[in-house]
Structures are given as C-alpha cells and as structure tokens.
Amino acid sequence: MNSNLMILPANRITNIRLIQIPDDIVGHEAYRYVTGLIAKVEENPEYSWDDVLDLLEERGFEAVDFVLGPSLD
C-alpha cells in the first residue's frame, strides 16, 4: 500500500507534523492546498495545531503518527 505523505516542518522539533494526502490530490497541488488551509487558520492569532488538523481532516487529510529519527548532519 502506497501512501502520499507530507511533512509539515516547524521551527521547533516538537511541532513537526506528518500528514497523509488524500488519493485524489497530487503532490504539488497538496502543497498549495495545505499552504492555503494553514494561512486560513493563522488568521486567528491564537490558533493551535488542533485547529489546523480539524481543517485538514475536513478536506480528507489525516495526521500520521511518526518517530523522528536522529539528525543526518
């Protein structure tokens, strides 16, 4: 089973997220789409990851649990 995944980088390691992209959205479209959704949530200065996740899930994206490995540099 192949999954299209997207890493949502962050300045703080604890804020890095991984999401699964819906099958009907291709990579470059997903990037633009997620950027727009995050910008919409960021209009509220007191937003949280849960606010972002709720909007993503409404559009078919899913949060994926992951383990962040050691740095390669």
Closest CA relative to residue 49, chosen from 12, 2, 4, 3: 12
| Four-point Cα dihedral 34, 36, 24, 65, nearest 10 | 20
**Number of helices and strands in the chain (H, E):** 2, 3
| pLDDT the model gives residue 2 | 63
Residue 59 pLDDT more than 90?
yes
17 membership: H or E segment, kind and range: strand 17-20
- C-alpha 42/C-alpha 38 separation (Å) is 6
Model confidence pLDDT, tens digit, residues 5-16? 999 999 998 889
pTM (predicted TM-score): 0.84
Residue 1 pLDDT more than 70?
no
* Averaged pLDDT, 19-24: 94
